[in-house]
Amino acid sequence: MDYVIQGCTDIGNVKQTNQDSFSIKIINTPIGKVVFAIMCDGMGGLAKGEVASASVVKAYDRWVEEKLITITKDVLTDDYIASEWTRLLQEYNEKIKMYSKSYGANMGTTTTAMLITENRYYIVNVGDTRAYEITQDTCTVMTRDQTVVAREIERGLLTEEQAEKDPRRSVLLQCIGASESVYPEFFYGDVKKDTVYMLCTDGFRHEITPEEIHFYLKPENMTEEMQMRRNIRTLIDLDMQRQERDNISVVAVKVQ
């Protein structure tokens, strides 16, 4: 199994700071090459959302550096990943809350992280950053938004179309550093060859359609790094032309 990876971020049209943070890397392990990717969308007063998002990304990067090689030898299971990543997110929920109190400003971050091995993927999600699976024919959201409007849709109180215009569409039910307790949601499945896996912040997807995401990011259009970056940049530019007000960030993995 081989991979092509790419990531891109933009401060956007309005904000003075970019509060998004991400990391993406290919790692050689005893079970072959794997990819780790994480996307965090920070928020907070006094422009400190980037502190929250960067701290979680750095914590995951340390986990990858210190533990991934060891666990791929014999303990890489759904339950183990869930235990490790839940512990990490709960730890940083408390750390960010303590930092917020000492600094006098509330801050927090969403988190979507993904580990891709030859046979299986592992995803954790808190908030409304998303993971997508993009095949030649489909563009599928792999995570569930932890937002007020997503909960209302599940209860049949809002339609998808109404949710797009609802002023509460960015109100989170959970946020690392701003929730009393954090309950991450996990998703697992079989990795598909000739598929693109994509993580993004909500600023990327508000002003473009799933059909546009599929057209530019489907596997046949993502064969090498420069092409991937060009296609991602095209969608980001489209977001900005449509007056997206948030930071905009994307990472993509082509499995081939």
Beta bridge pairs of residue 26: 35
Q: What pLDDT is stored for residue 45 in this prediction? A: 61
4-53 confidence digits (pLDDT tens): 999 999 999 999 999 999 999 999 999 999 999 999 999 976 568 999 99
Residues 6+ apart with CB under 8 A from 17: 11, 47, 49, 50
How many domains is the chain built from? 1
Dihedral over alpha carbons 56, 147, 206, 57 (to 10 degrees):
0
Q: What pLDDT is stored for residue 159 in this prediction? A: 78
130-176 confidence digits (pLDDT tens): 999 999 999 999 999 998 888 888 888 787 777 777 778 778 999 99
Confidence category of residue 73, pLDDT binned at 50, 70, 90:
confident
Q: What pLDDT is stored for residue 165 in this prediction? A: 75
The residue type of 245 is R
Q: What pLDDT is stored for residue 158 in this prediction? A: 80
CA angle in degrees (0–180, nearest 5) for 27-31-35:
30
Q: Which two tokens stand for residue 36?
A: 């780790």
| Residue ranges making up the domain that contains 177 | 3-255
Q: Is the pLDDT of residue 94 over 60?
A: yes
Q: What pLDDT is stored for residue 148 in this prediction? A: 84
pTM of the shown model: 0.95
214-224 confidence digits (pLDDT tens): 999 999 999 99
| CATH number of 238's domain | 3.60.40.10
For residues 232 and 168, the answer to whether their CB atoms sit within 8 Å is no
Query: What one-character-per-residue DSSP string does 74-143 give?
Result: HT--HHHHHHHHHHHHHHHHHHHHHHHHHHT--EEE-EEEEEE-SSEEEEEEESS-EEEEE-SS-EEE-S
Distance, CA of 206 to CA of 112 (rounded, Å)? 17
The overall average pLDDT reported for the chain is 93
Confidence category of residue 106, pLDDT binned at 50, 70, 90:
confident
